[in-house]
């Protein structure tokens, strides 16, 4: 049984049975789903991806995205979920659904992924805060399993030790792979005997981490561990991502090697806009969505296209407004735009005219877009 549901794009959902439910902390829990044999190919995924879950909350249908904590080789779908408020939708999911119940679950998607390189020597650093550990846990398990030459460093921030989820799993990985994995826990609201581990993960803390942990490299006496970093993974709230992504960039990591996943709506640019554009007034925008044609006139090109369409109350799809989630992906059929940042589209998609409306500035008087990608 399957169903196409519109969530920015038409997405395929299937009914899956909850195989396991576990309370992790006072406000987090995990769900594991049973994948029937006839759907195993539909639920093949890459580390770092997520699924959407449809459920009833307060009499209404709700669709939320949750990252997998399982790695592909484990051949199961396990999710880590945070309850943000006792009256919220996720609280209803926790209270009303148990092992044996069925939920609509989408096929996996998302591009917070890495290309596997099992024959290379790599150094990968992860930064996570709270529930942001979920896709990074999937990544780290997968890399440790498939890449015997890759070393990993994880810096994991929480309010307190009582809020720290998946500690047993993480510590077990650190024991098994003690020669390739190091984990450091930071707490923002719980004093530590070593003040180094007290406080939020931010640009100041990153500087200390580089100088005190990622300094001497046993594999190369002439450089530091930070010098050898190939990729950085960041997952958490928007301000943390913005802060750490810019700090990593200013400490020499190229933007293309800084990967991030957002766990909430975030309206700011991750990196500052450094390009100036000629002013264009009265920009005409035509766009197609769900088979319907729409027309809008933007006063000018001082703001990005998506944000201006939302101000005019057009029901365009979006989630993050920061070029990360891909919900506002569309095809530029006419006109010219500047795509400021892109954490989502591939080079081939860009070559085919795909853009992210939330990251695009109009550079012509007329713009024609198509949000119906399928």
Q: What is the DSSP annotation of 35-77?
A: --GGGTGGG---TT-EEEEEEEETTEEEEEEEEB-S-GGG-SE
Paired with 25 in beta bridges are 28
Residue range 339-366: average pLDDT?
Answer: 90
Mapping DSSP to helix (H, G, I), strand (E, B) and coil, where does residue 326 land? coil
pLDDT digits (tens, 9 = 90+) for 214-255: 988 776 667 899 999 999 999 999 899 999 999 999 999 999
> Tell me, what's the pLDDT at 5?
66
pTM of the model: 0.87
pLDDT digits (tens, 9 = 90+) for 112-133: 999 999 999 999 999 999 999 9
Contact by Cβ (8 Å): 130, 83: no
Residue range 296-304: average pLDDT?
Answer: 93
Mapping DSSP to helix (H, G, I), strand (E, B) and coil, where does residue 336 land? coil
Residue range 34-38: average pLDDT?
Answer: 95
Residue range 140-155: average pLDDT?
Answer: 98
Residue range 140-154: average pLDDT?
Answer: 97
Distance CA 220, CA 191 (A): 35
pLDDT at residue 273 tops 80: no
In sequence order, what are the residues at sequence separation of 6 or more whose Cβ sits closer than 8 angstroms to the Cβ of residue 274? none
Question: DSSP string covering 83-119, please?
Answer: ---TTSHHHHHHHH--TT-EEEEEPPB--------TT
State the chain's mean pLDDT as an integer. 92
In sequence order, what are the residues at sequence separation of 6 or more whose Cβ sits closer than 8 angstroms to the Cβ of residue 38? none
CA torsion angle for 160, 162, 168, 174 (degrees, to 10)? 10
pLDDT digits (tens, 9 = 90+) for 5-28: 666 667 899 999 999 999 999 999
**Which parts of the chain fold into alpha helices (H)?**
89-96, 133-146, 167-176, 203-212, 238-250, 305-311, 347-351
> Tell me, what's the pLDDT at 321?
66
């Amino acid at each position: 049984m399957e169903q196409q549901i519109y969530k920015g794009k038409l997405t395929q959902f299937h009914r899956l049975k909850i195989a396991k439910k576990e309370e992790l902390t006072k406000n987090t829990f995990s769900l594991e789903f049973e994948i029937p044999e006839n759907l195993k190919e539909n639920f093949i995924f890459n580390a770092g991806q997520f699924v959407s879950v449809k459920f009833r909350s307060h009499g209404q249908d709700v669709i939320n995205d949750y990252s997998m904590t399982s790695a592909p080789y484990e051949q199961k779908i396990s999710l880590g979920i945070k309850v943000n408020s006792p009256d919220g939708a996720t609280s209803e999911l926790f209270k009303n659904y148990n092992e044996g119940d069925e939920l609509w679950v989408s096929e996996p998607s998302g591009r917070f992924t890495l290309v596997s390189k099992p024959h290379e020597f790599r150094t990968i650093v992860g930064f996570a805060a709270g529930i942001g550990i979920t896709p990074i846990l999937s990544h780290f398990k997968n890399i440790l399993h498939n890449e015997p030459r890759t070393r990993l460093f994880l810096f994991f921030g929480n309010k307190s030790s009582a809020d720290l989820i998946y500690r047993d799993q993480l510590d077990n990985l650190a024991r098994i792979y003690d020669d390739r994995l190091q984990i450091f826990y930071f707490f923002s609201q719980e004093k530590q005997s070593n003040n180094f581990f007290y406080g939020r993960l931010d640009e100041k803390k990153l500087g200390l981490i580089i100088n005190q942990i990622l300094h001497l490299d046993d594999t190369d006496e002439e450089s530091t561990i930070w010098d050898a970093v190939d990729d950085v993974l960041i997952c958490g709230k928007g301000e943390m991502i913005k802060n750490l992504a810019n700090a990593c960039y200013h400490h020499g990591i190229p933007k293309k090697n800084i990967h991030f996943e957002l766990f909430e709506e975030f309206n700011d640019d991750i990196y500052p806009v450094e390009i100036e554009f000629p002013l264009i007034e009265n920009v005409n925008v035509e766009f197609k969505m769900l088979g319907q044609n729409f027309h809008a006139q933007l006063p000018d090109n001082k703001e990005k296209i998506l944000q201006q369409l939302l101000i005019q109350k057009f029901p365009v799809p979006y989630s993050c407004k920061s070029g990360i989630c891909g919900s506002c992906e569309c095809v530029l059929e006419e006109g010219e735009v500047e795509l400021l940042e892109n954490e989502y589209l591939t080079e081939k998609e860009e070559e085919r005219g795909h853009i992210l409306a939330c990251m695009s500035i109009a550079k012509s008087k007329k713009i024609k877009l198509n949000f119906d990608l399928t």
